[in-house]
Structure formats: C-alpha cells, structure tokens
Chain A
Amino acid sequence: MAEVQVYKKSPAEFNLGQRRAKKSMRNQIMMFALMIFLTLISFTMVMAYNSGVAGFSEYFVIPILLLFAAVQVGLQLYFFMHMSEKGHGIPMMFMYTGALFAFLIVLTFVAIVWW
C-alpha cells in the first residue's frame, strides 16, 4: 500500500463500464422524472383538498402523501444513493434495522401506550 496503484482497464472492461454507466444514467433520469411526477401529484392533491374538491378528504390525502413520501425515500436511496449496487449490504441492514425500531416504537405509542 506504499504507492497509489494504477489499474489499466482492458477495452472490453472499458466498454462494459460505459454501457453500465449509460444504463444507470437512463435509470436515474427516468426515476428523476417519476419523482417530479409524484411531487406534482402530491401538491395537486393538497390544492384539491384546500379548494374543497369532492372526494379529497384528509383521510384520503394524508395516507396517500405518506405513501408517496415512502416511495420517494426508497427511490432516492436505491437509484441516487446506489443502494441497489453491490457492497451496500451492511448500510442497508443498519437502515432497515433503524427503520424497524422506529416503526415498532411509534406503533407501541399509538397502539398501546396512548390508546
């Protein structure tokens, strides 16, 4: 580890890397579009609720907003923070464990403590 090691890629590896980068770029742009779309729907729903459109009660809007938020977080993590790629198993495990703890604790409060 004394010096910085320079690794020369073969043409095949180079091409593969290019193809993968292209595919990942396409994915990211698609997901970005989807996320903007979800955001627009969310805002529209809230505006519809505010102007009293029939059917847009808070019991409909709030759960859908929370669902969209969860989807957005998932997309963010998997497509922009590269959690879908290799070598992210440990961070994934810790995040899911933390999310599970948070979920169970909140569930405890709303279900049995403050019930």
Chain B
Amino acid sequence: MSSVAQKRGFGATLWDWLTTVDHKKIGILYLLGGGIFFVIGGIEALIIRIQLLKPNNDFVSAGLFNEIITMHGTTMIFLAAMPILIGFMNVVMPLQIGARDVAFPFLNSLGFWMFFFGGLFLNVSWLFGQVPDAGWTSYASLSIASEGHGIDFYAIGLQIAGGGTLIGGINFLVTIITMRAPGMTYMRMPLFSWTTLVASAMILFAFPPLTVGLFFLTFDRMFGGNFFDHTMGGNTIIWEHIFWIFGHPEVYILILPAFGIFSEIIPMFSRKRLFGYAAMVFATVLIGFLGFMVWAHHMFTVGLGPTANAIFSVSTMAIAIPTGVKIFNWLLTMWGGSIKMTTPMLYAISFIPSFVMGGVTGVMLGSAPLDYQLHDTYFVIAHFHYVIVGGVVLGILAGTHYWWPKMFGTMLNEPLGKITFALFLIGFHMTFLIQHWLGFWGMPRRVFTFMDGQGWNLANVISSVGALLMGLGILVLIINIIITSVKNVRVGNDPWGDGRTLEWAIESPPKFYNFAQTPLVRGLDTVWIEKMEGNKSGFTAAEPVQDIHMPNGSIIPMIMSFGLFIGGFGAMFHAEEAWGLPLLIFGLFVTFASMATRSLKDDLGYYVKKADIERDLKQKGGRN
C-alpha cells in the first residue's frame, strides 16, 4: 500500500475495507456496524412506545411485541452499545498509548467480522418470521418452551458475536500490556486506555460463562440436551446464574469505557488535569472487581433465601462507593476550570446528574425487600435505561462528537450537535423519568398493552413523546454527519485546541502507521506537558525515523466468520431438513480450512520504507 493519496475505484476501496487489519479502519467498521444495529434497535424501541401510547392498543400483536422487546434489548446491548464502544477503543486506545496498531491485527479483524456475522444471524430471524421472544435474558424455562427457531437464532447468533468480543478483549489486553510507548507507565495512561484495560479484563472473565450458557441452551434446543430441563434432572435456575454471572459484568463492560470517554472530555474542556487520577484508576479497577461479586441481585425474587439476598444486597451497595469517588472527581475536575461548552462537554455535564439518578435507583433496587415490590415493574425499566442511556449512550454520543475529527478529519457541526444534544437529553428524561412512577403505580414490564382507567394513560403518552424526541435527536445527528462529510472541511492535529493525550499530537485522520516515530512519554497528559514547555507540536520522538514493520491485509477473517454464519443455519435445521447436517459440516469446514490456511501460509507483513516516511513528514512541513 502506498502512503501517497490516489484515486481508486469502488471495487478496490471495498476490497480494502473488507481485508483491512488497520485498527483505525476496523474501529470505523465497528462504529458503522454498531451504528446500523443502533438504528434498528431504536426503531424497535419506537414501535414499543407506539404500542404503549394508549390503552388496549393493537399496533402490534402480543407475540410480535415479545419479539420486539427481546430484539430491542439484545440488539442494543450486544450489537449496538458494545461494538460502538469497542470501535472507539480500537481507534483511540493504540493512539493514546503510542502504538502503531493493536497486538494482533489479524485477530482484530476476525473479532469484527464475527461480531458482524453474529449480529446479522440474529437479525436474519426477522426474515424467517421466527424471532427470539424470551426477553434479552432468555430465561431457560421460557426459552426452552419457545416454539419455532427464534431462540435458536439468539443462541447461535450471540455465540458467534460473543466469540468476536472475547477475541477483541484479549487483543486489547495484550496491546496495552505489551505495546505502550517508551515512558508510558501504567500510571501515565490516559483514563480511556485504563477503562479499556479493565473492561477488556472483564470481557476475558465474563464472556466464557456466557459461552458455556449459550452452548447449554444450544444443546438443549437443537441437540437433545437436558441441562435446563428439570423433568430430566436438569436445573432451570442454573441458566439465570450463568447468565447473570456474565450479565452483570457485562453492564460494567459497557459503562466503564463510557466513564473513560467522559474522563477524557472533562479535563480537556475544563482545561485542567483530571482531579484524583490515581483514585480514578483505583475506582475503575475496584468497580471491575466488584462487578463479579453481585450477580444474584438480579435474582432476589427467585428464592435464594435471606442469607444470599442480604449478602448480595450489601455487595451491590458497595459498588456505589467507587462510583461515587468517580462522580466527585469529575465534579472537582470541573471546579475552578475554564470550561468550554462544546457539544461533548454538554454531554459530559448532563451525564453526571443523569447517571447519578440511575445509580441511586440501582441502590434502591439493591435493597432486597424493596426489590420484591419493584421487581418486574417499569421502575426497573426506568433504572436500567437511566444507567445505560444516561451513561453509556450519552458517552457514545459524546465520544462521537469528540473523536469525529480524529477519525475522519472533519469537525461535526457544533450548532447541530447541540440540537442533537438538547433533543436527546430532553427526550431521554421525558421517556424514562415518568417510568419510575409507572413502576410505583404497578405497571408491569414486558406486557404488550394495558387497560384503561388505571391512571397510566398520561404517563405513557409522555413517555412515548419523549422516545420520539430521542429519535429526532439521532436523526439530526445523521443529517449532521451527512452535511459534514459532504462539506469535507479538513482540520489539523488538534482541532479542539486543548488536546492533552497522544492522539491529538498526530494528524487527523492519522497516517496508517500512526506515528512516524514512536513518541516519548514524559508524564500523564504528555501532549499538554510538551505544549506547556513550549514544544508546539506536543510531540517528542523516542527514536530516529526508520523502517516501520506493518501487517498485510487479509480476507481470511471474513471467510472464517462467514463459515460460522453458514454453519449456524446448518445446526439450526439439522433435525428437520436433510441439508442441515451437511451445511453444518460445510460451514465448519470453511472455518477450519481458513484457519489452516492462515496457520500454514507464512505472512510476515511488509516494511514502510524510511524514505516514504520522510517524504510524508516533508509534505506536512515538519514532523507530526
């Protein structure tokens, strides 16, 4: 690949994206894939709110409603929020630690394609008309009894996508542990890289239980297993334990990177060092650890007994402590700072009260006696949307505006960004604040309609209007993206003007080799330190310009994942169709054959020549 810009045909560009192993391009693919699923999940949310707009509504049938809520939850968690965050990690984390790529570029590509085909598999269920309908938690007694192939799509689709996530997590761990630039000690790493590290470690420990649980479910439904069938000596409650041993860490895997994004945005636009950096790191690690110690608080009403409920209540409430540390540190970072009210900063400021509200209702639900009252009501819906939308989605939107110039070299329009922000934030509080009261008034979740005369009508109308506003906000964001891309006004290294971390010392978007010379890191917020000491570029090199070793692109990851996609259909239909078993074998053969190809054929990558790098540097008139 030449580093000189040249016009290429559509086919060549497409091939480049399909075979890329560049962490920035894979990150953008993750954002694109996650963005598409985010829109699908959002449309499902709007359908739910239209159905609940008025009592006795028949916009969708009860069965379809079950399918829509299941797919809304599954899509938003596994296929939208997580991939988008992994996309940001992919693009930003190597830049922040001064690396030229992730540790295993090939695996990075494999992780993306497995996520993509897993998500596609799950959503293809709509075309078959047999859609998962047992809720995103897919509790076993319900999911085993579900007819048709709906739950099969869930089990196999999530298995494939989950494998991709596990691969991504391991990759980030190795990258951060082994590829930090000279001088980048652990305690000098930007907070987003720290949260990436902790979230990846959580992925490493949390996803294997999900894999096991999904295998059990797959065998129970497709291959005659009885893991969850109590009439055959199985145990249906075991699924709930396995799911939540995975599921609770999962929500922290989502929120920690969002914390990381805000921990980058708040110091930058307060023009002030992050308050209590060491405490922030400690709190992140502690949240990561405690996340594994609380799973049974999702199961208070299962009947584990007062001892278990009491212990898990206490451990749940303990998580409020490190989270509180973080909240106060953000507030104290802003305290006395010279704050610039940019779009990302608006999201960051509004995130703090929104997330605190979700956290407080979390502590309420963590109290087992109260949970017995609130279980399966709209209060629970309100709580987890306050933490996931008020925390994760605000983080994603903030990160989109914040890193857009770094990813694409253009600035999103600020006024339009603020309109998105206002519409989304107002819509969000309108939708979910009132749902706390709906819960108190006894409206059950997961029920497709409600009767007139229970005092729920107005609250549901307010909630639905709010959802519409959120939808409009996202629409404005999409328009903003289109306008920005068409105008294509290029920006420099540090378009926000107050960059503190390494990604702001290189051009936007960065060259495919990121750093012409590996940077030397002299402290936390290294670019800020350099600028304060008079080095305008914000960059000190740790090595002379020399040849750079880069990996070759490869189509194998895509073929490998496609084999699993094909094999999934074989597994699903093997009992009723003659072609099922051959298809399963064929799909697995494609996967294993591509693995063998990769293993047997040496691919040593290539070198970017010193002369090319020097020419790139000259073109810019100076280094980085």
The residues of A with any CB-CB pair to B shorter than 8 Å are 1-2, 90, 94, 97-98, 101, 104-105, 108-109, 112-113, 115
Contacts and interface: CB of A to CB of B under 8 A. Distances in A.
Size band of the B side of the interface?
10 to 19
A109 B549 CA distance: 50
Interface string B294-334: 00100000001101100100000000000000000000000
Contact of B245 (A2, A105, A112): A105
Contacts of B305: 112, 115
Contact of B547 (A1, A104, A105, A108): A1
SS class of chain A's interface: helix, strand, loop or mixed? helix
Given A2-B607, A112-B305, A115-B305, A94 B292 contact: no
B293 A112 contact: no
Contacts of B549: 1-2
A94 B308 CA distance: 27
B100 to A, nearest CB: 11
A21 B293 CA distance: 43
Given A94-B201, A105-B245, A113-B296, A2 B546 contact: yes
B205 A97 contact: yes
Contacts of A97: 201, 205, 289
B304 A104 contact: no
B434 interface: no
Contacts of A112: 304-305, 307-308, 311
A8 B171 CA distance: 34
A3 B81 CA distance: 42
Interface in B77-130: none
Given A113-B304, A115-B307, A94 B204 contact: yes
B14 interface: no
Most buried by B among A1, A104, A112: A112
B292 A2 contact: no
Top 8 nearest A-B pairs (CB, nearest first) are A2-B547, A112-B308, A112-B307, A101-B292, A90-B177, A113-B304, A113-B308, A101-B205
Nearest to A114: B304
Given A2-B547, A2-B549, 20 more contacts: A1-B547, A2-B546, A94-B204, A97-B205, A97-B289, A101-B205, A101-B292, A104-B292, A104-B293, A105-B245, A105-B292, A108-B296, A109-B241, A112-B304, A112-B305, A112-B307, A113-B241, A113-B296, A113-B304, A115-B307
A94 B205 CA distance: 9
Nearest to A112: B308
Contacts of B607: 2
B67 to A, nearest CB: 32
A95 to B, nearest CB: 11
A1 B304 CA distance: 59
B304 to A, nearest CB: 6
A108 B241 CA distance: 11
16 contacts: A1-B546, A2-B547, A2-B549, A2-B607, A90-B177, A97-B289, A98-B205, A101-B205, A101-B292, A104-B293, A105-B245, A105-B292, A112-B305, A112-B308, A112-B311, A115-B305
Contacts of A115: 305, 307
A77 B455 CA distance: 64
Contacts of A2: 546-547, 549, 607
A112 B306 CA distance: 9
A104 B315 CA distance: 13
Nearest to B245: A105
A101 B241 CA distance: 14
Nearest to A109: B241
Nearest to B307: A112
Interface string B460-500: 00000000000000000000000000000000000000000
